[in-house]
Amino acid sequence: MVGCKRDVAVFKDLGINSIRVYDVDYTKSHDECMKLLEDAGIYLLLDMPSPQYSINRAEPHWDHDTMGHWQAKVDAFSKYPNLVAWIAGNEVANDVETTPSAAFVKAAIRDMKAYLKTKKLTTPVGYADNDDPKIRMNLINFFNCGDEGSRADFYGINTYRWCGDETDFKTSGYEDITKNMTSYTIPSLLTEYGCNLVRPRTFSDVKSLYGTDMGSTFSGGIMYEYTEEDNEYGIVKVSFGDSKVEKNGDYDNFKKALAAVKPQGVKMDSYKASGKDSVCPAASNVWHVKSDVLPPTPSQARCQCMIDSLGCTFKSDKLSTAEGKLVGEVVGNICGATSCDEISVDTAKGMYGDFSACSSLQRSAWAVNKNYENQRSAVCEAGDVETKIIGSPKQGDVKKCLSEKDDNGVVGKPSGSGSSSSKDEDNSDDSDSDEDSNES
């Protein structure tokens, strides 16, 4: 609690009302710290992913393990009245080649919104992008198109365009950012800002963010960042378990910039919805996603049922890193020689196999069994990784697995966006704040 008490006092001195925290140990109690924040009138925006359980932009996947950890974080923090929002992804798709990952992030938003609904919670779930010019508008439109259940509840932009006092609202590009969001139908904010290329940082963009330039379009922003790290964006230096705070010049400048603005909120009875829902971007050479179809909701039951149907599988339910690499090569060879549609993904075509949301090991076992079934000599093998033959599998008909409940308790065939199938039928054969990163 030493760090939390120390930091809350600093937050109060700055006059901020919200912080963003990227990761927490949700297995520990945060009751005292969250109460200190609540008493200080400070809200928390918390990222759902963690370094171990997040959507990998290079090899995106959304499965039971990742969803389960996000659900556990929701369970741990949803009791706090000052938890104001969840962020389901931070700069996941950050260039043209990684745009397929956006489909998985949106699927995660869909599923976590559904999970929150089962808990009778309405905490908004959003996304934070990296302001990349080649994919910016596609991302902005993608996360605000389609059915309401799969759309983001708010959209965040991480931007570092405004650098120093020689830059202004127009020359920084902030004017363009604002124009992009003027007719947006969900709230938008700057989830990171505070360029450090020009020293000292004077935070002259704060005046535009909370003034007439942007105030009617954006719901504020989160300055990056509070504690000093190797990237030199921090405004204070602190040490774990130490109540001492070493403030740098950026701290005083940020405090001064905040004190100079008087943002005006909007009362609910004065709010009038405007704008229109975005049009989903079409798949193209710069957007590798068929936007109207999303990856299926993970299902532990469906995947276990599939495993129970295999006549050839791995001896162990855990593989070493070296074994995983070997299996990857084996599966690559198998799927190069035969169809692996049931475990494959093609985001540009909107094709997601019935078992594509299963774990890497489960999908690999499916491929090894497919090869086993295709071999006339019935050889059950996966290179140098040990396998075993199951004489009488528990599940005799793998098609029955498709009726198993998903991880949100929904029964039926794996589905993508809304209630539509993720795979067409005619294709079925072929804290203590010392520990946590935070921003103010």
**Among residues 38, 59, 91, 386, which one is catalytic?**
91
How far is C-alpha 307 from the chain's CA centre? 28
Q: Which two tokens stand for residue 366?
A: 């499916």
Q: Within 13 Å, how many C-alpha atoms sit on residue 65's CB side?
A: 11
Measuring CA to CA, which residue among 112, 111, 22, 98 is closest to residue 60?
98
> Which whole-number Å values give the CA distances from 219 to 44, 211, 374, in the listed order?
14, 11, 58
Strand partners, 313: 388
Judged by phi (left if over 0) then psi (alpha if -120 to 50, else beta), residue 275 lies in: left
425 among known catalytic residues: no
192 among known catalytic residues: yes
Alpha-helix runs per DSSP H in 158-309: 174-181, 205-209, 249-259, 300-308
Strands 18-21 and 43-47: parallel
**Among residues 32, 175, 192, 381, which one is catalytic?**
192
Q: How far apart are CA 292 and CA 285, in angstroms?
A: 17
Q: Decide: 112 and 74 in contact? Cβ < 8 Å.
A: yes
Strand partners, 213: none
Q: How far apart are CA 172 and CA 162, in angstroms?
A: 5
Q: How far apart are CA 139 and CA 144, in angstroms?
A: 9
Measuring CA to CA, which residue among 298, 294, 306, 382 is closest to residue 345?
294
List active site positions: 91, 192
